[in-house]
Structures are given as C-alpha cells and as structure tokens.
Structure 1
Amino acid sequence: MKNLIVMRHAEAAFGYADHDRPLTDYGQSQARVMGSMLAQRFPVIDYVWVSDALRTRQTLAGLEVGGARFGQVQVSPDLYDGSHLDLVHCVHGSPPECAAVLIVAHEPGVSSVVSYLGDTSTPVTRTLMRGFSPATVGIAQMDFPWGAVEMGMLPVWEKLSTE
C-alpha cells in the first residue's frame, strides 16, 4: 500500500517578500508537532517534494526536528505557484519503489489536488478542498503505481492537523 501525503507549510510571517517569508515561532512549533505525528505513522517517508520557498523548506526542517525521517528530498520551484496539475506531476515523478511520498507546498495547490484526486462527495475531501490551514496534512492510500494517479482515483482522504 502506498501513501500520498500532501501538506501546506506551517504558519509564515508577514513583512517579507513572499518567496522569502520565514516561519513564525508558532509555525516552527506546528512543524515540529506535525513531524511527531507523521513519525508515529511513517517510520520513513521515502520521497519528499518541497517548494523552494523559505517557509516550505523551514517546514520540512521542523518536521525532521519533530522526528519525521525522509529518504530523498526534491526541491521544486514549480510548487511555489503550483496548481493541482503541478502537484500531480510530482506524484507521477515519484520513484516507483516508494511507499510514502510527501508534498510540502502552498494553497490553493494543496486543496486543489485533493479536490482533483478525491471524491468530492466524502466529508474529509470536502473539508480539505475548502482549504488547508497552515501545517495541515491530507493522506490518501492507494494500491497502484504513482504514475497511474489521475482525477478521482483517491476517494478516501484522512486529515491531520495541529489545531
């Protein structure tokens, strides 16, 4: 069974150029807490796609401080303003042997990809497609190759939140 994990970055500060916005102290705490939650579920997340924005990279670092462990990490500038199709492209590009793939990106891409891949009639999918709060995670399981993921193929999502 494979797990797709989609996460919005933790809370970011204002007053900086958007791409260079750092996490707030609370955002750093959110990332550590979510890292602990993910570590309890996944001994190792095999592959990570992360936006090149400062706040997403700091979120990933905070996840590690919280106990999450990662295999390979791929920084992708396409995820900064990424649409749902950019996120799907990352899923398709994940190594076939990976059991767990994490994407750390931004709104509205993260909620849009859940809407695109999920069944919009299920309560959790509807909640996630309305928008991810900072440091929120959506998880979907599947039993087919990463390259086969298409619209509506991941009907059941689970939500993890630090709130």
Structure 2
Amino acid sequence: MHLLAGLNLFLTRRADYTGALAAAERFAELAHASQNSVEIVASEWMLGATHNLIGHQQLALELIARGLARAEALGIGNTYYFGFDNKGRGTIGRIWTSWLCGLPETAMLRAAEVLAASTAQRRSRSRPSLYTVAASKPMALYRRKDWAGDRRCSIEWRCAAATRLASRPHVPVVSA
C-alpha cells in the first residue's frame, strides 16, 4: 500500500493524473479490503486530491470531506507515506476544491482554519508548511481587505515565506 501511495505522489508530480488516479483507486481497493480505518481515510484523501487535479471538483470535495469527517470521528491524525502528510493534502485540497466549486466563502473559512491550526502548531513545535502558505494565496488575494491587519495574510508575506521554505527548509517562516 505504501508503494501505491508513493506511486500516486510520483505520478501526480509528473502530471500523469490518469496514472495517479489508477494508483489511488488500487490503494482504495486494498484499504477497503483490509478494513483498516487509517488506510481507508488516507485513500479518501488521496482519491479526492487526485480527482481535484483531473477536474472532478464536486467528487473531490465529497471524498475529501468524507475522509476528514471519518478521521475526526475515529481520532485519526496525520498519515504519512514517503514523508508526505495526507491529512494536510486533504485539508488543503478541500480549500482548493471549495474555491473551484464556486464556494469562496467556504474556501476562506477553511483557509482561516488551516492558518490558525498551522500557527498553533508552529507555536508548539513547527512552522507552517510551504504547501499551507502557497495554497492559501488565492484566498488571501480574494479577502485581502478583510485580513489586512494580519501580516501573515498579505500576499507579500506569503510569497516571501514560500520562497524561504522552498529554498531553505530549515529557516523558520516566523521571521519578519
């Protein structure tokens, strides 16, 4: 199963979304056959993220939401395959798919939740991920006026933070 998750990521990064979908579907088949709740949740996030890339936005939104709801109900946290956080992928995917489905207010709400969680995580042990910072850029542009008081919500801060994270992952994003 881990190899299928890795294949899904590899093919996604190569822009072979049809191949990535086939890997995600096979992962989902095996997850359901195993009855492993963590694997089933991960398969829903993986399928949702892949359908998003293919353009099946409504299906992607449903899969990601179902996976997140199931994870919350079962107390499942982050799941990692090849160092990639599938819960993060699902959470950010839900923002993008909400945006693409014509639900900008929902996307804004989800982006604010992710930023708040990322900030809380940074205070405890970490920092926002490059993915979190980059994925919320469209929402920051859309609601720039409403988030004007928070420097983390400026597009300039996001671009600078994303550049720092991409070029030197050990540099904290909290710098001014």
- When normalised by structure 2's length, the TM-score is 0.29
Which structure's relative contact order is higher, taking Cα pairs within 8 Å and 6+ residues apart? 1
- When normalised by structure 1's length, the TM-score is 0.31
| Rg (Cα) greater in structure | 2
Greater helix share, structure number? 2
